[in-house]
């Protein structure tokens, strides 16, 4: 078993949320983090660009980066890590 920290880039309407996650995998971690993204918000459909869409396209989830960490680091991080929420900028 190997342990990882990763990120999901989530768009909720006009908001963007970068969410840190932790996960473990016996096999390919890239497949595991894509499974997590695919199951993030219920039934989804996936575009060719690898983005997972939910709720009629209102919610979009993309896989960010991930990195292997030690079991000690993995165990020291809570299951839920606070996301960073970015609102729509006025100048956009």
Q: What's residue 81's pLDDT? A: 58
Percent over 70 (pLDDT), the chain = 85
Region 50-67: mean pLDDT is 91
Region 19-40: mean pLDDT is 91
| DSSP letter assigned to residue 83 | P
| DSSP letter assigned to residue 22 | E
What is the rounded CA–CA span in Å between residue 5 and residue 18? 13
Q: Which H or E run includes 72?
A: helix 71-76
pTM of the model: 0.78
What is the rounded CA–CA span in Å between residue 74 and residue 72? 5
What is the rounded CA–CA span in Å between residue 61 and residue 82? 17
| DSSP letter assigned to residue 92 | -
């Amino acid at each position: 078993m190997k342990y990882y920290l990763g990120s999901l880039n989530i768009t909720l309407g006009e908001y963007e949320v970068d969410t840190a996650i932790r996960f473990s995998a016996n096999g390919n971690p890239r497949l595991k983090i894509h499974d997590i993204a695919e199951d993030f918000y219920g039934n989804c459909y996936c575009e060719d660009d690898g983005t997972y869409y939910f709720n009629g396209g209102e919610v979009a989830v993309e896989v960010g980066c991930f990195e292997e960490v030690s079991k000690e680091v993995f165990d020291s991080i809570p299951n839920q890590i606070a996301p960073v929420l970015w609102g729509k900028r006025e100048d956009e």
